[in-house]
Amino acid sequence: MTTKIIKIELPDLSGLYEAAEEIRRGGLVAFPTETVYGLGANALDAEAVQSIFRAKGRPNDNPLIVHVADISMLEKLVTGIRPEARKLIAAYWPGPLTLIFYRAPIVPDEVTAGLDTVAVRMPDHPVALELIKKSNVPVAAPSANRSGRPSPTLACHVAEDLAGRIAYIIDGGPCRVGVESTVLDMTSEVPAILRPGGITPSMIEKVIGTVRLDEGVIGNNCTVKPKSPGMKYTHYAPKGEVIVVSGMPEDVVRWINQKIQQDEKECICSVVITSQEHLSQYGAKDALSFGSVHNPDEVAANIFRLFRECDHIGAEKIYIEAIPKEGIGLAVMNRIEKAAGGRIIQL
């Protein structure tokens, strides 16, 4: 299959017609959202949804998020919407917040991996919204990467992983947020964050009061079974070994520099992912900047692209400086710790 790339220059969205046609025909279209690129198919077409799993090499037990363009689409997918969910929708949709509801029978098992719940969100991106509207169906879409690879934040990342395996890639430029949406389970009495993302716990609390972090999200406890099936897989990972380093800034820099020198002696290709502020403290060829440590939004927007850059460099070891788990920093550190698979150095 040849993959056609459609470049969209806002505000002209006319290029989306043929891609929407492809969705209606049961085909696969990668498209930009405000978080990461998604790999979309008609959520009500079980065969189309199965082909998402094949293209990504995704395990069948990992359910998909359904993307909607308006509330009437949501209402058809779920059995009911509790008042707290309505409040969150009013506050944060369209936006990087996925809500879990009990599903209506119309939703195929392939989407929910057999669960009695369905995850739904309304993306805050003109291209995504228009694609859903023109398709006139809800669009199931996981991140548009091969399973296990970092989520794509540029169209070229999607092409790297999926060219030849899908019909269309819509290039809408870089994704603004850069990490995937917050997944919030609205079926438990106290809503639970199953995956931290662009909408922070305090933003949720402001609207509905108490919210809790699912045990699978807190710390890096690999023994707790996450409620969100996707969180159990090693994820987002570059090919090299990721080591997260946390502590006083000068200790962190010293520790990493020692490691790099040692690696160099052993002919191991190692890379540091660090803040703009610390960049000059490492050898120029060894270090990549994730932006300012004081600007977690910037770090979020850069982190997955940097993971892919490490692969291009051929990094065998990747040392990453931890950032505070505040605001979207919680989501960034969740992804970094997953990529590290437990290799966390606390100095």
Beta strands, E only, 186-324: 192-195, 212-213, 241-246, 270-274, 287-289, 317-321
Q: d(Cα 207, Cα 204) in Å, to the nearest integer?
A: 5
- The distance in angstroms from the start CA to the end CA of the chain is 50
Cβ 34 vs Cβ 95: under 8 Å: yes
Which residue, 187 or 257, is less far from ligand TXA as judged by CB? Answer: 187
Stretch in the footprint of ligand TXA (CB under 6 A) among 21-29, 130-138, 223-231, 240-248: 223-231
Which residue, 211 or 288, is less far from ligand TXA as judged by CB? Answer: 211
Q: Which of 3, 46, 50, 62 binds ligand TXA (CB under 6 A)?
A: 62
Q: Does 117 bind Mg ion (CB under 5 A)?
A: no
Stretch in the footprint of Mg ion (CB under 5 A) among 81-89, 125-133, 139-147, 214-222: 139-147
Which residue, 27 or 293, is less far from ligand TXA as judged by CB? Answer: 27
Those residues with Cβ within 8 angstroms of residue 151's Cβ, 6 or more apart along the chain or in another chain? 36, 37, 143, 144, 145, 179, 180, 236, 304
Structure tokens given for 99: 């809500």
Give the position of tokens 């978080």: 35
Q: Which of 19, 137, 170, 183 binds ligand TXA (CB under 6 A)?
A: 183
Compute the least distance from the CB of residue 92 to ligand TXA, in Å. 13
Q: Does 143 bind Mg ion (CB under 5 A)?
A: yes
Cα-based angle 174, 344, 204 (whole degrees, multiple of 5): 55
Q: Does 231 bind ligand TXA (CB under 6 A)?
A: yes
Which residue, 150 or 329, is less far from ligand TXA as judged by CB? Answer: 150
Q: Does 41 bind ligand TXA (CB under 6 A)?
A: no
Pick out residues in 141-170 that bind ligand TXA (CB under 6 A).
Answer: 141-143
Pick out residues in 119-138 that bind ligand TXA (CB under 6 A).
Answer: 119, 123
Instruction: Give buried/exposed letters for 308-339 (b at 16+ CB in 10 A, else e).
Output: bbbbebebbbbbbbbbeeebbbbbbbbbbbbb
Q: Which of 118, 139, 273, 328 binds ligand TXA (CB under 6 A)?
A: 118
Structure tokens given for 84: 């707290």
Compute the least distance from the CB of residue 61 to ligand TXA, in Å. 9
DSSP labels, 172-223: --S-SS-SPPEEEE-SSSS-EEEE--SS-HHHHHHHHS--EE-TTTSTT-TT
Structure tokens given for 236: 């987002």
Q: Does 64 bind ligand TXA (CB under 6 A)?
A: yes
Compute the least distance from the CB of residue 83 to ligand TXA, in Å. 21
Q: d(Cα 193, Cα 212) in Å, to the nearest integer?
A: 6
Q: Does 95 bind ligand TXA (CB under 6 A)?
A: no
Q: Does 174 bind ligand TXA (CB under 6 A)?
A: no
Stretch in the footprint of ligand TXA (CB under 6 A) among 57-65, 211-219, 244-252, 336-344: 57-65
Q: How far is CA 38 from the centre of its chain?
A: 9
Chain residues binding Mg ion by CB under 5 A are 143
The footprint of ligand TXA (CB under 6 A) covers 33, 35-36, 38, 62-65, 96, 98, 100, 112, 115, 117-119, 123, 141-143, 180-181, 183, 194-195, 227-231
